[in-house]
A and B are shown apart, each in its own frame.
Chain A
């Protein structure tokens, strides 16, 4: 149970990022490709080493670090996200003149923060992971030093993020006063199921605010569009996948004891219901007016946070993780297309820049259409199945009203996703910007995401059983 080896995924990532920093400081300028190789190898090693602990339930540090099956699944997911993001940023960072050592080591630190968040059952360690992730993210958002929007994104993210963190810490303090413990297990024991302690509710609401900020739920979403638009595109892809997945998984673990169907925790359910409905409505309605595709995807990511909250509320772990996995493929795919549309350090992400993309770069347009259709939730794509599982569980548990809102808002979302496709295929005037889809690595990533979207949409069986096994292996309460 208590194995030092179970720390290996984290140690590999942190070690690799330190080595990359040293190489950046002492290495020769001509050997820059070594950095990306080390980063990719460490992410691969992290996923493989984590997978070897499948079903063993290993841990370290007196149980504050537990590599259970869900944590392993998420570690693999985060490594995959990091891997794809590094691959798509290889040519992007040369065009935009990033410092490679800093970029890769910050990205690896961010991924290790995500892993710390999902592998711990101790609230303080979860907070530690969140801060590791956040500090790296603030810098990553502002990596385009010459670009005003990027600096704006970094400062906005930093100020609002540290405010959200302070809410989170205050909430943890309240929870600690009530239960005298930071361990999720002990907290769930201490809570008297009949008692509705105000201190505890205050604490919980504050913690919900802290994580709601990270996953962009609606009253706390103000930072999302600006940060997503300003940050470098590969980093935006990472933001929309990584922190969201980690935040939802932590909330899933945190709320598990309180959302058992036996005890109707009315207050908490009402809060989550309202958050979810608001997030879906506002995210989708505001996305309708967006002219910039990167910003539109930011609002779409807010809307998806709303659908994910439904899975959180129904405690549907399987649906949640499957949704996150499907979201990884379709979102990284869509952002990869945006990266292909930013040649030579300029970014052409306005809706009009997509005019006639089908004739200029037919393959890019076709893959973008698949990703958008999947984000909207059409069958045979992963997005459809993900939404189907989440909604059907919710209906079975009696949240029919919320599911009606969810389906109606997805219907609204179809409009703005299809509008991009209309611009690509049916526009009369063709944008003059020449797009050369000549970066083979980027094309491989797009193809891989396409494969992921279709595989999860058509034959999700094996992945689903894997996720089911992981969720079932959670200790009963």
Chain B
């Protein structure tokens, strides 16, 4: 690689790094500035978790079924699979045989995972 190009990359990265640091510092500063400068007038009512008067009716949060996380998992499976397909398609012409085998092995592993999820009841809603 060209030496000048490398130098440029380096300086840009250092600059980027500095920018991140500066923004981070400003962010942290703002966080604490509020606590430092803001007036603090508290009373017992203000300290309550539910401030606008009427007491809450229910004390705990009841557990509720989270069913979409499984769907999200399986979606991720197919999503990542497609992401891998694009670079694979680009090099396919150069290395057809090997690429086909590699993708077949990759898909086989994913499909096995899908079969396992299916069989253990990940798709059953209730």
Partner of B10, one of A14, A24, A25, A177: A177
Q: In the bound complex, how far is the Cα of B113 from the Cα of A177, in angstroms?
A: 37
Q: Which of A285-315 contact B (CB under 8 A)?
A: none
Q: How far is the CA of A25 from the CA of B115 in the complex (A)?
A: 8
Contact B10 A18 (CB under 8 A): no
Chain B residues with CB under 8 A of A136: none
CA distance in complex: A174, B14 (Å): 10
Kindly list chain B residues whose C-beta atoms are within 8 Å of the C-beta of A24: 116, 120
Tell me, yes or no, whether A464 is within 8 Å of chain B by CB: no
Q: Which chain B residue shows the least CB distance to A197? A: B10
Q: B residues 75-126 with Cβ under 8 Å of A?
A: 109, 112-113, 115-116, 119-120
Query: A22, B115: Cβ atoms under 8 Å?
Result: yes
Which residue of B9, B13, B112, B120 contacts A18 across the interface (Cβ within 8 Å)? B112
Please tell me which one of the listed residues A26, A178, A198, A202 contacts residue B119 in the complex, with CB atoms under 8 A apart.
A26
Contact with A177, one of B13, B112, B119 (Cβ below 8 angstroms): B13
CA A179 to CA B55, docked complex, whole Å: 63
Residues of B within 8 A of A174 (CB): 13
CB distance from B122 to the nearest CB of A (A): 11
The interface size of chain A toward B, counting residues with CB under 8 Å, comes to: 14
B9 surroundings in chain A (CB, below 8 A): 177
Chain A contacts with B in 1-47, Cβ cutoff 8 A: 14, 18, 21-22, 24-26
User: Chain A residues with Cβ under 8 A from B112's Cβ?
Assistant: 18, 21-22
CA distance A25 to B120 in the complex (A): 6
B119 touches A25 (CB 8 A): yes
Among residues of B, the one whose C-beta sits closest to the C-beta of A22 is: B112
Distance (whole angstroms) from the CB of B91 to the closest CB of chain A: 14
| CB-defined contacts of A22 to chain B, threshold 8 Å | 112, 115-116
Among B6, B14, B109, B116, which residue has its beta carbon within 8 angstroms of that of A25?
Answer: B116
Query: Does B1 touch A at the CB level, under 8 Å?
Result: yes
For chain A, what secondary structure do more than half of its interface residues adopt (helix, strand, loop), or is it mixed?
Answer: helix
- In the bound complex, what is the Cα–Cα distance between A25 and B121 (angstroms)? 10
Measured CB to CB, the nearest residue on chain A to B12 is: A177
Q: Is A180 an interface residue (CB 8 A)?
A: yes
Please report whether the interface of chain B is mostly helix, strand, loop or mixed according to DSSP.
helix
CA distance A180 to B2 in the complex (A): 11
Instruction: Answer yes or no: A199 CB below 8 A from chain B CBs.
Output: yes
Chain A residue, CB-CB nearest to B118: A25
B113 contact set on A, CB distance < 8 A: 21
- Give, as a whole number of angstroms, the nearest-CB distance from A4 to chain B: 11
Interface band, chain B: 10 to 19
Q: Chain A, 180-217, contact with B by CB distance < 8 Å: what is the 0/1 string?
A: 10000000000000000011001000000000000000
Within 8 A of A (CB), among B10-24: 10, 13-14, 17
Nearest Cβ in chain B — how far from A167, in angstroms?
14
Assembly CA distance A405 to B10 (angstroms):
40
Contact B119 A199 (CB under 8 A): no
Complex Cα spacing A177 to B9, Å: 8
The answer on a CB contact under 8 Å between B10 and A199 is yes
Residues on B with C-beta less than 8 A from A25 are: 115-116, 119-120
Q: In the bound complex, what is the Cα–Cα distance between A26 and B115 (angstroms)?
A: 10
- Bound Cα distance from A199 to B13, whole angstroms: 9
A277–chain B nearest beta-carbon distance, Å: 29
Report chain A residues within 8 Å CB of B119. Answer: 25-26
Q: Nearest residue in B to A18 (C-beta to C-beta)?
A: B112
Contact in complex: B1, A180 (CB < 8 Å): yes
**Chain B residues within an 8 Å CB radius of A198:** 14
CA distance A14 to B17 in the complex (A): 40
The residue in chain A whose Cβ has the minimal distance to the Cβ of B109 is A18
**Residues in B whose Cβ lies below 8 Å from that of A14:** 109
Bound-state CA distance A178–B112 (Å) is 41
Distance of A16 Cα from B112 Cα, bound (Å) = 13
Closest residue of B by beta carbon distance from A101: B116
Closest residue to A11 on the B side, CB-wise? B105
Complex interface: chain B residues within 8 A of A178 (CB): 10
- Closest beta carbon of chain A to B49's beta carbon, Å: 23
Taken together as a complex, chains A and B put the C-alpha atoms of A177 and B115 apart, in Å, by 42
Contact A21 B14 (CB under 8 A): no
Given the complex, which residues of B lie within 8 Å of A199, measured CB to CB? 10, 13-14
For the complex formed, measure the closest distance between the CB of A453 and the CB atoms of chain B, giving whole angstroms: 39
Complex Cα distance, B113 from A24, in Å, reads 12
Q: Most chain-B CB neighbours within 10 Å: which of A24, A25, A174?
A: A25
Q: A25-B120, A174-B13, A180-B1 are in contact. List 8 more A-B contacts (CB 8 A).
A: A14-B109, A18-B112, A24-B120, A25-B115, A26-B119, A178-B10, A180-B6, A199-B10
A-B CB proximity, top 9 nearest: A25-B119, A21-B116, A25-B116, A18-B112, A180-B1, A177-B13, A177-B9, A25-B120, A199-B10
Please list 23 pairs of residues, one from A and one from B, whose beta carbons are closer than 8 Å in the complex, sorted by A's number.
A14-B109, A18-B112, A21-B113, A21-B116, A22-B112, A22-B115, A22-B116, A24-B116, A24-B120, A25-B115, A25-B116, A25-B119, A25-B120, A26-B119, A174-B13, A177-B9, A178-B10, A180-B1, A180-B6, A199-B10, A199-B13, A199-B14, A202-B17
Binding site for B on A (CB under 8 A): 14, 18, 21-22, 24-26, 174, 177-178, 180, 198-199, 202
